[in-house]
Amino acid sequence: MSVPTKEIYGWGRVPVVRAEEREAEDLEAASADASLSRGLGRSYGDASLPARGPALCTRRADRILSFDPDTGVLRAEAGLSLRALNEIFPARGWATPVSPGTQYVTLGGMVASDVHGKNHHVAGCFGEHVRALRMRVGDGRVLEIDDATEPELFRATLGGMGLTGHLLEVEVQLERIASYWIWGRNERVSDFDELIGALRAASARSPFAAAWVDTTARGASLGRGIVTSGRYAELREAPAAPPRLRERIAVPFDLPGWFVAPWSIQLFNFLWYHAHAARTGERIVHPQAFFYPLDGVRHWNRLYGRRGMVQYQCVVPTQDGGGILRRLLEVVSRMGGASPVSVIKDCGEQGRGMISFPMPGMSLALDFPYRAGHTQAVVDALNELVLGAGGRIYLTKDALTRRDHFAAMEPRLARWNEVRRKWDPERRLSSALAERLLDPAP
Amino acid sequence: MKAVLLGATRGMGRAVARVLAARGERLFLLGRNREALARSARDLEIRGAHAPVASALCDLLEPSGFGAALDAADRALDGFNAAILSAGLFAPQDVLEVDADFRRDLLAADFAHSIEWCEAVRTRLLARGGGVLCVFSSVAGERGRSPAVLYGAAKAGLTRYLEGLDHRYHAQGLRVVTVLPGFVHTAMTEGLAPPPFAGTPEDVARRVVRALDRGRPVVYAPGVWHAVMLAVRALPRSVMRRATF
């Protein structure tokens, strides 16, 4: 039989590669000759795209291998989705310690991206809670590792974008919760300084905090937005029944490429901003609405049409009180690169992951409809500012950053590549992202 | 429900077992690989199946072991009242045409030995007053089609057997559920180009368990395949000769 190839792309649909992708239930057998493992394909750019050789899709390798209801230690095959985890464990009093903005990710993907969430300032990245990994490293061996037995490999793998080995099993410490319901709070803020102040106050008060910012607002309104914060509800505050995970509506087909344009983004942002009351209120919120508002619409990336979209996320140190973030927003505003889903989040300490994204400071996430030359220019301009401020970008979102920009942002890269070389001397693992940004120049 | 399942470590069978597990049902797994059985049993226990979920070896290619395997299930479950067969072999037509050994195995596993397994289940269920027998056949058996001549023939025979079984023993309490999956994304179909209306094992599992609960004799999964197969059955031979699906 000839080997069929298919178009493979990330959530942003930029770029697209044609390659072989295999889906397997037995990762240990199937990973022997694969070049990259990928889960649900929710990284935005080229992080999950194979460059040389077949990709192994892990989503069907999703068995739970052990769970201790007393300690909350969970071990599962790497393809288990956070959605499946959320269906089973919160009702028993245990939740993931860190949740990214979507639940359609696998455990393997959460490790490879070392994902962070609204609680980064208190809980750190997902990798801080990973106890052990079973993986097939590039030289072909299958290893069981943790931070004590192989600290270098373990830390290079947290946030290592799947390039240190195929993740086969993940063991993670879940977090004890009284209720899965969220006691949440929305605060509408009318300009940039107010937003930064409210976000810092929310973070000091709450384990979960982040801000949505209206990137179409200019002048005095620049930086207006909604600061969202919350915590798991106490039993006495929560409704008697645990929250039911809801089915979703779907975008049934690709919308035309003009649909997400400045006028529609402006309209959306205006409505979203004014949909939130000017007065701050606290109330019980459904965890899906709180953690994963975009998951409510299946295939929401189709709103951007076949041309796709580009996500951009950076983190910058903010000793200067957030002035650099204001300059980033001004660049977006000036270049007309309006973004409907823009999130600002303060990050806590850097964690164990050797090249993980977060660092103390403020993170800004934006998305843009992809327009070939123009989006590249916006990303370049943002990267110049981030680089100058001593910040860095999130590889899981990236599609367009230039190699020289990234190298200048990441002095940690050389050390990480040394570890990679040790475990994968023939460089059998690869990805489109690695070839674009990470591999040492030939 | 006290269910014995052959083929539930993988694919659609795994998805059906998970739906039953989430309801706290009692399950017993049969399969070819001891380690795979143990991993799946643990997975189902954690997902809510009545613990412990026990298992025994059983291979569709070795019908001499069926009796012992079902006896083990009977002992563990104190008499099962449901049996679900989702195991089977598959290969595309061009592979089956050249590989005579695999062809013989496939025709045996998907037709003759599947029926042997059902017969062993039937006698046990009838002896205790009835129960449910649920078997995964395929829409491939609904029409002779050039990409699935051999596999389709085995599944056509299996489907007719199940239909007859239903007619013969329904009055005695045997409820037969024939599952006719269309194209479903599993390891079995990996590498094949999916047609429109391809389903997921989870979609199939929800429909199958609903059919088990209601005793519906035939379930197409995903449901749209019912309409698709109505149309395909109506096509004249002259069209089917030229069709590539």
- Residue-wise pLDDT for B219-231, tens only, equals 998 888 898 889 9
Residues of B in contact with A3 (CB under 8 A): 191
Q: Using CA atoms of A353, A355, A360, A364 in order, give the dihedral in degrees to the nearest 10.
A: -120
Chain B partners within 8 Å of A60 (Cβ): 186-187
Nearest residue to A195 (alpha-carbon basis) of A230, A221, A231? A221
CB contact under 8 A, B39 and A65: yes
Q: Inform me whether the pLDDT recorded for A82 exceeds 50.
A: yes
Q: Report chain B residues whose CB lies below 8 A from the CB of A23.
A: 185, 187, 190
pLDDT reported for residue B38:
98
Q: Which residue has the higher pLDDT, A323 or A441?
A: A323
Q: What is the pLDDT of residues A154-175, one digit of tens each?
A: 999 999 999 999 999 999 999 9
Contact A66/B at CB under 8 A: yes
Judge contact between A45 and A14, C-beta under 8 A: yes
pLDDT (tens digit per residue) in B18-72: 999 999 999 999 999 999 999 999 999 999 999 999 999 999 999 999 999 999 9
- pLDDT (average), residues A117-125: 98
* pLDDT tens-digit readout, A277-295: 766 778 999 999 999 988 8
User: In sequence order, which residues have a C-beta less than 8 Å from that of residue A160 and are 6 or more positions away?
Assistant: A112, A353, A354, A355, A416, A420
The answer to whether B191 contacts A88, with C-beta atoms less than 8 Å apart, is: no
Q: B147 at the A interface (CB within 8 A)?
A: no
Q: Which site among B35, B43, B97 would you substitute to test the A interface, given the most A Cβ atoms closer than 10 Å to its Cβ? A: B43
Mutate to test the interface with A, among B35, B86, B184, B190 (most CBs of A within 10 A): B190
- What is the predicted pLDDT for the residue at B214? 92
Structural domain boundaries of chain A?
65-177, 182-402
**Is the ipTM reported for this complex over the cut 0.85?**
yes
Determine the Cα–Cα distance for residues B197 and B20; give it in Å rounded to an integer.
Answer: 25
Question: Which of A76-85, B111-120, B142-151, B186-195 has the weakest average pLDDT?
Answer: B186-195
Nearest to A382, CA basis, from A405, A359, A413: A405
- Would A65-177 and A182-402 be classified into the same CATH topology? no
Cβ contact B46–A4 (<8 Å): no
Percent of chain A with pLDDT over 90: 77
Distances in Å between the Cα of A428 and the Cα atoms of A14, A36, A418, A425 are 24, 9, 15, 8
Task: Give dist(CA A326, CA A222) in Å, integer.
Answer: 8
CATH architecture, range A65-177 = 2-Layer Sandwich (3.30)
Range with lowest mean pLDDT among A237-241, A360-364, B14-18, B136-140: A237-241
| C-alpha to C-alpha distance for B105 and A379, rounded to whole angstroms | 58
CB B93 within 8 A of CB B149: yes
Quickly state the pLDDT bin for B185 (edges 50, 70, 90): confident
Pseudo-torsion of CA B180, B183, B15, B9, nearest 10°? Answer: 90
In terms of CA atoms, which chain A residue is nearest residue B48? A88
User: Which of A1, A3, A63 lies nearest to residue B43, judging by beta carbons?
Assistant: A63
Question: CB under 8 Å to A56, separation ≥6 — which residues?
Answer: A21, A22, A24, A27, A30, A31, A34, A36, A37, A38, A166
Residue A2 has pLDDT above 70, yes or no: no
Give the torsion through C-alpha atoms of A396, A207, A247, B210, to 10 deg.
110
Section B232-244 average pLDDT: 89
Q: Say which of A4, A22, A24 has its CB closest to residue B193.
A: A4
Per-residue buried b or exposed e for A353-375, using 16+ beta carbons within 10 Å of the residue's own CB: bbbbbbbebbbbbbbbbbeeeeb
- Mean pLDDT, residues A135-158 taken together: 97
Mean pLDDT of chain A: 93
| Per-residue pLDDT at A353 | 98
Q: Are A310 and A338 in contact (CB under 8 A)?
A: no
Whether A29 and chain B come into contact, CB under 8 Å, resolves to: no
Percent pLDDT > 70 in chain A is: 97
Contact B193 A3 (CB under 8 A): no
| B184: Cα separation from own chain's centroid | 13
Residue to substitute from A6, A63, A65, interface B, most B β-carbons within 10 A? A63
For residue B165, the model assigns a pLDDT of 98
Percentage above 70 pLDDT, chain B: 100
A252 pLDDT above the threshold of 70? yes
Nearest neighbour of A65 by CB, restricted to B36, B42, B192: B42
CATH number (domain holding residue B149): 3.40.50.720
> Nearest residue of A to residue B38 by CA position?
A65
A136-150, A326-340, A386-400, B161-175, range with the lowest pLDDT: A326-340
A129 or A258, higher pLDDT: A129
Q: Which of A211, A208, A204, A205 is nearest to A177 (CA)?
A: A208
The residue segments making up the domain with residue B68 are: 2-242
Q: Which spans in chain B are helix H? A: 11-22, 34-46, 66-77, 93-98, 100-107, 114-127, 149-169, 201-214, 224-234, 237-242
The residues, any chain, with a CB within 8 Å of residue A241's CB and separated by 6 or more, are none
pLDDT tens for residues A28-76? 999 999 999 999 999 999 999 999 999 999 999 999 999 999 999 999 9
* CB distance A337 to A351 below 8 Å: no
Confidence band for B197, pLDDT divided at 50, 70 and 90: confident
Compute the residue count for chain A.
442
CATH number of A182-402: 3.30.70.2520
C-alpha–C-alpha distance, residues B144 and B153, integer Å: 7
Q: Tell if the CB–CB gap between B43 and A67 is shorter than 8 Å.
A: no
Q: Sign (positive/negative) of CA torsion B3, B4, B5, B9?
A: positive
Cα B240 to Cα B233: distance, rounded to the nearest angstrom: 10
Contacts of B193 in chain A (CB under 8 A): 4
CB neighbourhood size of A42 (10 A): 25
Q: Do B190 and A25 touch (CB under 8 A)?
A: no
pLDDT surpasses 60 at A1:
no
Q: How far A24 CA lies from chain B's nearest CA (Å)?
A: 6
Q: Search chain B and give the residue with CA nearest A87.
A: B47
Nearest to B34 by CA among B62, B53, B56, B14: B56
Please state, for a pLDDT cut of 90, what percent of chain B lies above it.
83
Dihedral angle at the C-alpha atoms of A250, A254, A255, A258, nearest 10 degrees?
Answer: 140
A299 vs A20, more confident: A20
Please give the pLDDT value at position B191.
Answer: 72
Q: So what's the pLDDT on residue A321?
A: 65
State which of A299-313, A359-373, B74-88 shows the largest mean pLDDT.
Answer: B74-88
Cβ pair A88:B47 closer than 8 A:
yes
Nearest to A66 among B36, B42, B47 (CB): B42
Give the number of other CB atoms < 10 A from CB of residue B115. 18
Q: Indicate the residue of B43, B190, B191 with minimum beta-carbon distance to A64.
A: B43
Residue of A4, A23, A64 lying closest to B187 (CB–CB): A23
Alpha-carbon gap: B203 to the closest alpha carbon of chain A (Å): 13
Predicted structure pTM score: 0.95
Q: In A171-197, which positions are buried (b, 16+ CB within 10 angstroms) versus exposed (e)?
A: bbbbbebebbbbbbbbbbbebbebbbe
Q: Measured between CB atoms, does A234 come within 8 Å of chain B?
A: no
Interface contact A68, partner B, CB < 8 A: no
The closest alpha carbon to A290, from A40, A90, A58, belongs to: A90
**Which of chain A's residues have a Cβ under 8 Å away from the Cβ of B11?**
25
Number of structural domains (chain B) is 1
Residue A249 pLDDT exceeds 80: no
A88 touching chain B per CB within 8 A: yes
